[in-house]
């Protein structure tokens, strides 16, 4: 006898094949039967007539890295139908921690109200062991960050690593993978990872290739030098043997929108040549990161303490303004399209830099510098810099998956602040706006992109498809009503149209209510 039977639903199995009507039975953490199950009994029989049942969604680009340790129920992700989060992206995994990076990684301003056994959370094994002890509501697939690796050995210096330091970085990569990481990630617009040369990246990624892992690449430039940066990640994949995954694909900045198609053609060519290369994106025309990313790369060297010193010096400010006008992150943005998403000063949230600067009687540059000083860098931004036409076009590539580029958050309380709406609405927006309304992809193909395809990339053997014997990571939703509700001014809104979310056979969300179950596991293969 099964534990649960879902009757009369349409199964979209994650393979891309046509949907079909059938019942589905779950026993323990496993799918045990699919078909006409009218003679099978179970304590819980659920009629899902008119609904779709499909594999749980795999978030290929999640930042629920350290946050999963103190928000283990990850409400904002589960309510979207996400059952597995791939974490540690953009070079920013929470481990490894050493004396070289401890003060930066364990910033007292960020952790003062969070009670965790910090001394245990300094290696991949220690961190994952802690997550297994406390339990999580969704599955976690970990990556180690190249920025974290570099800072653990070299600190926050731009200096070139010595041979001994290079060997130490490789050993840390090997240790992280031996303890559960499936690959390495980069965030090559963020110091200290951005200080690495192509040659250094190749060397630090070689252990990943030898272990059959994945190089997750937040490339060096998503704007003016998008083409060159895409070529660099392909070169790294070729020379290391690692599979390549291009993180949150975009052509950022109005002047660069036309570069999206040529960059995708480079990925097309790499795939045609036999490289295992894929990508992900989020279904929005705005990105998000910390306000500090607007500063020139050289101004971020050394970490927060050195940044504060530079911001306090008038001559250095003038030098930063000159750099920001011609290079770096802000060269592709516009003041009236940069929205403050969250800050230790709540008066800034929900307002554009152009408005805040005018109200304060400051130049936009001085407002940014003063706000960073006031908040000690604890301030985030949303940048409207992508093309809607490109978003639709990019989804048509067969290797394009979906990621939130967000952490698991709560919908209310002290942690419910400072978010891009993608944290709450990415997957319902993809299925509602782009699949149902815009008809960018058929539903079956769309479900494949967020379940079966990422499971293949991650080398999962028993997840990502609806098959007998596979783990019961499942979502039941109404294809006619599923939609995101989160917006840029009020992001903390639950999506609609999702009835059930199951992780390893246990119901974690039922009609938009989290059950507080924590059946998640660490999924490394």
Question: Tokens representing 10?
Answer: 């349409």
The mean per-residue pLDDT over the stretch 390-409 comes to 97
Is the pLDDT at 111 greater than 70? The verdict is no
The mean per-residue pLDDT over the stretch 486-503 comes to 96
For residue 196, the model assigns a pLDDT of: 97
For residue 364, the model assigns a pLDDT of: 92
The mean per-residue pLDDT over the stretch 483-500 comes to 96
For residue 415, the model assigns a pLDDT of: 73
Q: Which CATH architecture has domain 1-87+256-263+386-394+407-452+462-515?
A: Roll (2.30)
Is the pLDDT at 180 greater than 60? The verdict is yes
pTM given for the model:
0.95
Is the pLDDT at 525 greater than 70? The verdict is no
- Give residue 112's pLDDT band: very low, low, confident or very high (50, 70, 90): low
> In angstroms, what CA-CA distances link 106 with 52, 80, 96?
43, 30, 12
Is the pLDDT at 185 greater than 60? The verdict is yes
- Give residue 414's pLDDT band: very low, low, confident or very high (50, 70, 90): confident
Among 81, 104, 83, 140, smallest CA distance to 429 is for 81
Is-contact 237 268, C-beta < 8 A?
Answer: no
- Other Cβ atoms closer than 10 A to 353: 25
Decide: helix, strand or coil at residue 488. coil
For residue 34, the model assigns a pLDDT of: 98
For residue 331, the model assigns a pLDDT of: 63
The DSSP letter of residue 421 is T
- In tens, the pLDDT along 434-464 reads 999 999 999 999 999 999 999 999 999 999 9
Higher pLDDT, 114 or 275: 275
> In angstroms, what CA-CA distances link 352 with 58, 339, 374?
33, 4, 17
According to DSSP, the β-strands at 82-87 and 139-142 are parallel
Is the pLDDT at 297 greater than 90? The verdict is no
> In angstroms, what CA-CA distances link 390 with 209, 264, 266, 446?
32, 11, 16, 17
Work out the mean pLDDT of the chain and round it to a whole number.
94
For residue 304, the model assigns a pLDDT of: 83
- Other Cβ atoms closer than 10 A to 376: 17
Q: To the nearest 10°, report the CA torsion of 97, 100, 104, 108.
A: 80
Query: If phi over 0 gives left and psi between -120 and 50 gives alpha, with beta otherwise, what is residue 328?
Result: left
For residue 344, the model assigns a pLDDT of: 80
- In the chain, % of residues over pLDDT 70: 97
Among 42, 45, 103, 94, smallest CA distance to 66 is for 94
For residue 94, the model assigns a pLDDT of: 94
Is the pLDDT at 108 greater than 60? The verdict is no
- In tens, the pLDDT along 419-437 reads 899 999 999 999 999 999 9
Least confident of 108-117, 249-258, 347-356, 378-387: 108-117
Q: Cα-atom radius of gyration of the chain, to the nearest Å?
A: 22
Domain residues of the chain, as ranges? Answer: 1-87+256-263+386-394+407-452+462-515, 293-384
For residue 113, the model assigns a pLDDT of: 67
- In tens, the pLDDT along 317-358 reads 999 999 888 776 666 668 888 999 878 888 898 899 999 999
- In tens, the pLDDT along 35-75 reads 999 999 999 999 999 999 999 999 999 999 999 999 999 99
Question: Tokens representing 316?
Answer: 């250095």
């Amino acid at each position: 006898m099964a534990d649960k039977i879902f009757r009369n639903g349409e199964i979209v199995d994650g393979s891309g094949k046509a949907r079909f009507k059938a019942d589905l039975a779950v026993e323990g953490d496993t799918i045990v039967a699919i078909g006409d199950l009218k003679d099978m009994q179970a304590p819980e029989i659920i009629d899902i007539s008119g609904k779709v049942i499909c594999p749980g969604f795999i978030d290929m680009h999640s930042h629920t890295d350290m946050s999963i340790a103190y928000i283990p129920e990850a409400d904002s992700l589960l309510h979207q139908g996400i059952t597995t989060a791939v974490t540690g992206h953009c070079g920013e995994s929470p481990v490894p921690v050493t004396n070289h990076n401890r003060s930066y990684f364990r910033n007292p301003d960020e952790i003062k109200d969070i009670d965790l056994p910090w001394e245990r959370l300094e290696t991949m094994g220690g961190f994952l062991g802690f997550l297994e002890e406390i339990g999580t509501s969704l599955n976690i697939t970990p990556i180690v960050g190249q920025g974290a690796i570099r800072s653990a050995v070299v600190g926050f210096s731009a200096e070139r690593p010595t041979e001994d330091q290079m060997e130490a970085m490789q050993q840390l990569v090997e240790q992280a993978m031996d303890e559960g990481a499936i690959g390495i990630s980069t965030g090559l617009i963020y110091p200290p990872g951005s200080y690495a040369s192509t040659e250094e990246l190749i060397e630090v990624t070689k252990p990943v290739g030898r272990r059959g892992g994945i190089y997750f690449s937040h490339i060096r430039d998503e704007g003016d030098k998008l083409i060159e940066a895409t070529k660099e990640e392909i070169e790294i994949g070729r020379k290391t043997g690692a599979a390549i995954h291009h993180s949150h694909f975009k052509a950022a900045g109005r002047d660069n929108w036309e570069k999206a198609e040529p960059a995708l053609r480079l990925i097309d060519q790499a795939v045609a040549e036999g490289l295992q290369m894929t990508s992900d994106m989020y279904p929005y025309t705005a990105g998000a990161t910390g306000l500090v990313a607007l500063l020139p790369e050289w101004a971020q060297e050394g970490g927060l303490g050195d940044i504060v010193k530079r911001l306090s010096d008038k001559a250095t400010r003038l030098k930063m303004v000159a750099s920001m006008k011609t290079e770096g992150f802000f060269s592709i943005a516009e003041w009236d399209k940069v929205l403050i998403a969250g800050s230790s000063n709540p008066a800034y949230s929900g307002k554009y830099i152009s408005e805040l600067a005018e109200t304060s009687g400051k130049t936009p540059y001085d407002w940014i510098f003063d706000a960073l000083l006031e908040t000690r860098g604890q301030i985030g931004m949303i940048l409207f810099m992508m093309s809607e036409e490109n978003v639709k076009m990019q989804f048509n590539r067969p290797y394009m998956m979906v990621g939130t580029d967000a952490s698991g958050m709560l919908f209310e309380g002290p942690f419910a602040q400072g978010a891009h709406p993608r944290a709450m609405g990415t997957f319902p927006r993809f299925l509602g706006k782009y699949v149902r309304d815009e008809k960018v992809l058929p539903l079956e193909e769309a479900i494949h992109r967020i379940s079966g395809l990422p499971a293949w990339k991650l080398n999962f053997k028993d997840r990502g498809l609806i098959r007998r014997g596979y783990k019961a990571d499942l979502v039941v939703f109404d294809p006619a009503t599923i939609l995101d509700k989160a917006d840029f001014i009020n992001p903390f809104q639950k999506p609609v149209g999702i009835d059930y979310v199951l992780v390893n056979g246990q119901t974690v969300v039922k009609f938009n209510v989290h059950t507080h179950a924590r059946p998640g596991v660490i999924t490394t293969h």
